[in-house]
C-alpha cells in the first residue's frame, strides 16, 4: 500500500491520530499523535502532540514530544 501526502488547511482543525502517511503539511490546527516520514508545519500551522518522523520542518507553532531524524526551523518559527 502506497503511503500518501496529507494537507491540513489553514481553516481546518484535526484532533486524533495520524499514521501511515509519507508527508503531511499543517497550515491549520492539529492535536494528535503523528507518525510520518516528513512533517511540515507552515507559518500559520499549530501542532500539539507527539511526533515520530524522519524530517520535521517547523515554520509555525509546535508543543509536544518529538522523535525526529532531522529538525529544520524556518524564519517564521
Rounded to an integer, the average pLDDT of 1-11 is 84
In percent, the amount of the chain with pLDDT more than 70 equals 95
Any bridge partners for residue 15, and if so which? 31
Give me the pLDDT at residue 55, please.
98
CA distance 60 to 77: 5
Taking every pair of C-alpha atoms in the chain, what is the biggest distance, in angstroms?
Answer: 36
For the chain, give every domain's residue range: 4-69
Q: Are 37 and 52 in contact (CB under 8 A)?
A: no
52 vs 1, residue with greater confidence: 52
pLDDT in tens, 31-48: 999 999 999 999 999 999
Amino acid at each position: 500500500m502506497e503511503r500518501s501526502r496529507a494537507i491540513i488547511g489553514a481553516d481546518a482543525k484535526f484532533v486524533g491520530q495520524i499514521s501511515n502517511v509519507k508527508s503531511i503539511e499543517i497550515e491549520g490546527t492539529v492535536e494528535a499523535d503523528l507518525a510520518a516520514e516528513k512533517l511540515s508545519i507552515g507559518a500559520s500551522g499549530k501542532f500539539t502532540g507527539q511526533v515520530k518522523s524522519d524530517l520535521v520542518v517547523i515554520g509555525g507553532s509546535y508543543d509536544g514530544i518529538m522523535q525526529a531524524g532531522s529538525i529544520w526551523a524556518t524564519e517564521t518559527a
